[in-house]
Structure 1
Amino acid sequence: MFKDNLDERFDLSFERIKEISLNPELENKSLASYYKSVAAFIVKLEGLYRDLKAGKLENLSLEELSKLNKSLYEDVLVENYDKSYANPTFSKKELGEKLGNLLSFLYVEIRGMIVLVYEDRIDEMVALMELFIECYCLGEDASQVKESIYWYVSDYSDDLIEERIKELLDPDYDFATKIIMESDLTDLRYLYKFGEYITDNEIKTATFINSLSEAEVNAMARTFTEGYRKGFELTGKDITKKKTVNIRFCLGFERLVREEIKEFAKIGLKPTIYRAATNSINKTISGVKVGFYGASPNKQYEFDHRQDYALYFNGDFVERKLGATRLAYEHYKDLAAVHGGPAVMEVFGEIPFEPANNADAYKLSDKQQKLVVKYSNEASQIVNNYIKGEERSFTIIAYPTAEIGDKFEEIFAETVKINTLDYEKYKVIQEHIIDALDKAEYVEVKGTNGNTTDMKVSIMKVKDPEKETVFENCLADVNIPLGETFTSPVLKGTTGVLNVSSVFLNDLNFTNLTVKFEDGFVTDYSCDNFKDEEGGMEKGREMFKANVLYNHDTLPLGEFAIGTNTTAYVMANKYDIVYKLPILIVEKMGPHFAIGDTCYSKSEDVKVYNPNGKEIISRDNEVSILRKTELDKAYFNCHTDITIPYDEIGNITVVEYDGKRVDIIRNGRFVLEGTLGLNDAFEN
């Protein structure tokens, strides 16, 4: 990647930036202040780079490393953000309407150099330093600065995208793996080797994980890796053809990850572990972090810059990025063919983030939103051509971090219990629910206690009850913990209103969320997040469209499910942490509706069976079936679950073809014969 004369270019760039940090020769004092400040930050990083190369950080104490770490992220911490050039509002105030956003974007990209320093990515550092100098030389010419940034993004996208795909597929890219496998994990100084922001949360979480017995950690690791293995087995996929698994986690869990790596090795899989992207080119379109990551120094800062790519996202760039993605996968096609898919460890415990709407941040235009949809669809097809959906699988699990509060250790133990509930018990209970659902023409879901949900969900017809079913019996495999039965509903006739008082979706807390459906498609939506602000209703709609609809004008209902994990629900209410739980657990705590693709997306032709041997036939809906005629219209590459808690459920009723009505849940409790044991958790 841009290999020519790197050391020389690095030294020349640094010397010029050092001069700028001492005396920016600009008449515009505000602009001079910006470049002096950012240049000083780069000088600081250059010193850190030299110290890392010389091994000087190895001798620092935990306290010294913590102080150094905070100094790298201090500028964007909540208490300092109002006066940071990373804040688009402050930057526009200081640098003007035309330059403010551009130079805020530039500073955020340069802040990504922190992790480049730790990973010794001198090529990417040189590219950013040269861009900084180029923009400095252009002074107040905003149009030229914008053009320079655009061409930097365009010119380097090929290399940065290829590097990203290599990180996903190649186990020899082992920066994080080496830290995890070779460090003394009882010496918490290892956490600072990653270059991520580290807080007491990561320190306390790692300390707690270190306190667990070998048997406890091994059991947790096996739950995770066995779930991954079962995902292949239950769908008839051959895991022996795979050689790699992509492990994603939050810092603090390294001892557990180390054991997972050992367990994966027993089934012939090596880990690929890469960092959540820090450059705009490789960040996810939604802003969700994918990879390993540390603490967020400031969620508002990240939210403000989630659509920074609006600066350069046009048709030409989309074609270039798609082309670069295609070429990279072709280059690494042998590695892609043996890649098994992700194994994801989510965390929970932080206070849900309710963003402030920053009018000064970059925002996608209507035209760009349509381009995002085009890009997402085509990029997904490229990936699926090389890491085939019918051959890959995944698993996902969640644990609390110390940030959840004083009851952390208790909650952690309860979570482990939830993740390892009795497979056989739930299998039988959920078969009773599925037997009732398989007779449904539609299912009626109504809310109570202020919840205005009133949904009619059309169900695919079972033609051979002895061999077919339309609901999957979801136990502890790819989706841990167990506890749901789900289907791809028939879109036609699926109509009504979905409402929930509070729900955490894609790292954002939506309050009083209401979504309307007609024949399975979203027709309207609202939330109360910005109700006290001018134009609050429209701001709420914009947040939902960007973060749940992913900028589509509408999406279909891809899944209807009934969660059965009452143990998780009771635990969540006992500790008052419902609002802190990830959707992975929340979706098991009541009925849920997923907006977007079906659960069988891109694997519809793979036959799937429940433990009782019945084939699950509801793998397609009216949209996904278009893959056979109009592939570009069949997938949306998103799937967001919205769960209604038990205490907001009035009834879930099966309505059979002859009009017979059978309640599964009434007033928040299971009433169907064979399921009453699920209520024990409420009583106990």
Structure 2
Amino acid sequence: MSKTFYQQTDDILERFQLATERISTIKEDHDLPEKLQAYFNQVADFFMTVLPIMNKAADGTLFDRTITECEKDNDAVFAIYGEDTYKNSFLCPTYAVAELGQELGGPLSAIFYEMTNIIEAAFAGRLDKFTIYAELFLQVYGECQMEEEDKYRKEGILDAMYSAKHDYSQLFMSESIISMIDADYDYYRNIIMKDDLSDDRYMYKYGMYIGPNERKIAAHLRSLPHEDVVAMARTYVEGYIKGFEVTGKDITIKDTVGVHAPVGFELMTREAIRLFDEAGLASTVRFGGMTSRNLYSSVPNKQCEYDHKDDRAYYWDKGMADRMLEVLKNTFEKNKELAAVFGGPAVIETFGEKPFEPVNHDANAKYSDKQNELNVYFASQNGQITNEYIHGEERSFTIIAYPIPEIGKDFNEIFNETVAVNTMDYELYKNIQQHIIDVLDQGETVHITGRGDNHTDITVKLHHLDNPAKQTNFENCVADVNIPVGEVFTSPELEGTNGVLHVTQVYLNELGYRNLELKFEEGKIVSYTCSNFDSEEENKKYIYDNVLFKHDTLPMGEFAIGTNTRAFVMGQKYGIADKLPILIAEKTGPHFAVGDTCYSHAEDVPMYNPDGKECIARDNSCSLLRNEDISKAYFNCHTDITIPYYELGDITVHTADGRTLDVIRQGRFVIPGTEELNKVLDS
């Protein structure tokens, strides 16, 4: 039975009409200083641009638009993100501060960014949400009219922002959680399953930016034989199901799966949802937009998203954090039966967008040290509450990735090669990787070095195997939770893991790093740097914010050897190595993850390789703290950093009795039985 989060009432309708009518007259006002009035005029113009969408959704005519009207509306509402438009608008913090000064520029730019959420509200026909944003905007306008000094105006703006976030957290947070676990909230899934996917108009119902990538990938999937699309979906669904099998988790106690998919892939997503249904799993599909996965589309301006990523700093305090955690806890408690049968996410990622290296601007919001401590606390508590209701030892996931047309002129070839990489021989790689594991399991430590410009020199300590006949340190990872095949991995002992990890260039979470260097002592990061910015202070902050996620240090949660040399060669052949997602990139060389282990929240669940041996390296000295103080055990992040084969020197196993066993020499596998991996590298 289909559900909805929202029922229109006369009160909401009246508030909506009053608020939008007042916004429509703001440009007639002349009460404020010229530049300040210009800000409110610009935001009011944005409201008036989106308002016709809201009205069409409310009266049921939005879906009657022609494709030309859809494209015109799309261009109009997302015009604020155009590079030139953005740089010269109050949506840009740098421009806003230059025009309005330090006191008002940043907060008002953050308010403008908050107002962009009316786009999603309008397309979904949500008068309630649209009205909340409209009333917040008018409240801020009123605060600026009541005060004459900027410092008092700023206080009013921040108070309004705080009150709105606090008062409406119940609506926004609970809706996000419930739409993840309850398949009866099916607005977006219905579009995927019921619309005519041969007509591009379906994708203009979402309320997301629709650009060339979305339109071209939809056209490409329509050009493929139907059986090929079904095969893609089956690989994805079977990977999810295998993820439960290989980790010894019971999928029969799960009723739902969270489908994360890019706009344009609906033909594949539809087939996947059908296959999940056949497996007894109902799919949830929730709005992601441009800043998260779930149902998502291209980001029209990544610098804008980066400029506003820390806007929460304007209102973030312990009271707000505790209010949000309270809502999280209460929502899960009221829906604990649904949470218990949620199996986890099944994710389709894309790659191929132009690599993005952000520019830091002084005008952007910045967290204080106290707020950064609060961020760590909030993430820890959030993770603990979520795991209390969606048990880590019972859930699983899968991730698969495909290129988008922006990757370049070889898109068709790259797409076909990616499909081939995603469906490589399971048995072949299982056997090859077992040869590698058999050598690694003899070791006490593993020594990894770089070559050429790469100066990696790090020793990884392995767990002791009490019974090598029945135990192993490394998981034989084929194609299940992480598609494609191609890695063996372990959670190292922290004590005894020391050295320097260096990569000349890498992209992590869609951000580029040049000469990223991390130094480890006893398994934890003790220093870090890169060469992205002119000042060392900026380089360190960049890593602190986006790799350490505001932790003072992180442990090494994983050491792995990627074996998918075909994926590596694909990256080199087409010049797309810098565009490969971490899902594929981690298979193209040894990699090290900082943060939680791969077994986070599921360390006590036995894990067995295909040969029957138990993977005993599921813990480290950090995760073991869960038995004393769970807040100190987890970091709620896991970032893989890969050394490509051409920067890799040697990987050598050192045994307790003094022997040395090479796994890789100068970027080539040397263990008997792994020769197949070198063929594609040498061809």
TM-score in same-fold range (> 0.5): yes
Q: Tell me the TM-score normalized by structure 1.
A: 0.96
Look up the match of 1:64.
Answer: 69
1:250 aligns to 2:262 (yes or no): yes
1:192 aligns to 2:195 (yes or no): no
Amino acid at match of 2:37: A
Look up the match of 1:112.
Answer: 117
Aligned pair partner of 1:317 in 306, 317, 320:
320
Deviations 1:473-504 (A, max 9, x none): 00000110010000000001100000001111
Amino acid at match of 1:128: Y
On the 8 A contact 1:339/1:392 being kept in 2, the answer is: yes
On the 8 A contact 2:63/2:205 being kept in 1, the answer is: no
Look up the match of 1:679.
Answer: 678
Question: What's the CA shift for 1:40?
Answer: 2.1
Amino acid at match of 1:648: E
Aligned pair partner of 1:447 in 450, 470, 487:
450
Look up the match of 1:605.
Answer: 604
1:82 aligns to 2:87 (yes or no): yes
Look up the match of 1:299.
Answer: 302
CA distance in 2, matches of 1:366, 1:27: 35
**Residues 585-594 or 154-163, more deviating:** 154-163
On the 8 A contact 1:485/1:562 being kept in 2, the answer is: yes
Question: What's the CA shift for 1:611?
Answer: 0.2
Look up the match of 1:215.
Answer: 227
Q: Provide runs of 4+ in structure 1 moved above 4 Å.
A: 1-4
Look up the match of 1:394.
Answer: 397
Look up the match of 2:22.
Answer: 16
SS in 2 for 1:500: strand
Root-mean-square deviation over aligned CA pairs: 1.3
On the 8 A contact 2:289/2:297 being kept in 1, the answer is: no
Question: What's the CA shift for 1:57?
Answer: 4.2
SS in 2 for 1:79: helix
Question: What's the CA shift for 1:2?
Answer: 9.4
Look up the match of 1:430.
Answer: 433
Amino acid at match of 1:679: N
Look up the match of 1:283.
Answer: none
Look up the match of 1:274.
Answer: 286
Look up the match of 2:569.
Answer: 570
1:359 aligns to 2:362 (yes or no): yes
CA distance in 1, matches of 2:81, 2:569: 38
Look up the match of 1:616.
Answer: 615
Question: What's the CA shift for 1:507?
Answer: 1.0
CA distance in 2, matches of 1:52, 1:162: 23
1:160 aligns to 2:163 (yes or no): no
On the 8 A contact 1:24/1:36 being kept in 2, the answer is: no
Amino acid at match of 2:639: T
CA distance in 1, matches of 2:173, 2:165: 11
CA distance in 1, matches of 2:275, 2:305: 35
SS in 2 for 1:588: helix
**Residues 292-301 or 548-557, more deviating:** 292-301
Tell me, which stretches of 5 or more residues in structure 2 are unaligned?
A: 148-152
CA distance in 1, matches of 2:623, 2:341: 26
Question: What's the CA shift for 1:418?
Answer: 0.6
SS in 2 for 1:342: strand
CA distance in 2, matches of 1:648, 1:19: 62
1:652 and 1:585, CA in 2 relative to 1: closer, same or farther beyond 3 A?
same
Amino acid at match of 2:157: V
CA distance in 2, matches of 1:51, 1:24: 28
Deviations 1:67-113 (A, max 9, x none): 22011111121121111111001111222221111111111111110
SS in 2 for 1:271: strand
On the 8 A contact 2:120/2:206 being kept in 1, the answer is: yes
Question: What's the CA shift for 1:61?
Answer: 3.4
On the 8 A contact 2:54/2:127 being kept in 1, the answer is: no
Look up the match of 1:282.
Answer: none
SS in 2 for 1:323: helix
SS in 2 for 1:550: coil
Look up the match of 1:262.
Answer: 274
Look up the match of 2:150.
Answer: none
Look up the match of 2:552.
Answer: 553
Aligned pair partner of 2:418 in 379, 403, 415:
415
CA distance in 1, matches of 2:287, 2:63: 22
Deviations 1:360-396 (A, max 9, x none): 0101111111100000001100000000011110000
Question: What's the CA shift for 1:193?
Answer: 1.1
Give me the identity figure in percent.
48
On the 8 A contact 2:402/2:418 being kept in 1, the answer is: yes
CA distance in 2, matches of 1:495, 1:362: 36
On the 8 A contact 1:344/1:397 being kept in 2, the answer is: yes
On the 8 A contact 1:401/1:408 being kept in 2, the answer is: yes
Look up the match of 2:469.
Answer: 466
Tell me, which stretches of 5 or more residues in structure 1 are unaligned?
A: 279-287
Look up the match of 2:142.
Answer: 137
CA distance in 2, matches of 1:53, 1:179: 17
Look up the match of 2:341.
Answer: 338
CA distance in 2, matches of 1:614, 1:58: 56
Amino acid at match of 1:393: S
Deviations 1:303-356 (A, max 9, x none): 000111111111111111111110011111111011000001110001110000
Question: What's the CA shift for 1:55?
Answer: 4.4
Question: What's the CA shift for 1:65?
Answer: 1.8
Deviations 1:560-586 (A, max 9, x none): 000000010011101010000000000
Question: What's the CA shift for 1:413?
Answer: 0.6
On the 8 A contact 2:208/2:289 being kept in 1, the answer is: no
Aligned pair partner of 1:206 in 215, 218, 221:
218
On the 8 A contact 1:23/1:36 being kept in 2, the answer is: no
Question: What's the CA shift for 1:15?
Answer: 1.4
Amino acid at match of 2:589: G
CA distance in 2, matches of 1:186, 1:192: 13
Question: What's the CA shift for 1:235?
Answer: 1.5
Amino acid at match of 1:104: S
CA distance in 2, matches of 1:307, 1:274: 24
1:2 and 1:29, CA in 2 relative to 1: closer, same or farther beyond 3 A?
farther
**Residues 446-455 or 236-245, more deviating:** 236-245
CA distance in 1, matches of 2:524, 2:663: 25
CA distance in 2, matches of 1:313, 1:121: 27
Look up the match of 2:330.
Answer: 327
CA distance in 2, matches of 1:196, 1:177: 15
Question: What's the CA shift for 1:118?
Answer: 0.7
Look up the match of 2:593.
Answer: 594
CA distance in 2, matches of 1:180, 1:110: 27
Aligned pair partner of 1:125 in 101, 121, 130:
130
Amino acid at match of 2:258: N
Amino acid at match of 2:299: S
Look up the match of 1:628.
Answer: 627
On the 8 A contact 1:76/1:84 being kept in 2, the answer is: no
SS in 1 for 2:587: coil
SS in 1 for 2:269: helix
Q: Tell me the TM-score normalized by structure 2.
A: 0.96
Amino acid at match of 1:173: Y
After the TM superposition, which residues 624-663 of structure 1 pair with which residues of structure 2 at under 5 Å, given as runs? 624-663=623-662
CA distance in 2, matches of 1:584, 1:2: 37
SS in 2 for 1:107: helix
Amino acid at match of 1:665: I
CA distance in 2, matches of 1:663, 1:196: 51
Count of matched residue positions in the alignment of Structure 1 and Structure 2:
670
CA distance in 2, matches of 1:512, 1:62: 46
Question: What's the CA shift for 1:161?
Answer: 0.8
SS in 1 for 2:295: coil
Look up the match of 1:379.
Answer: 382
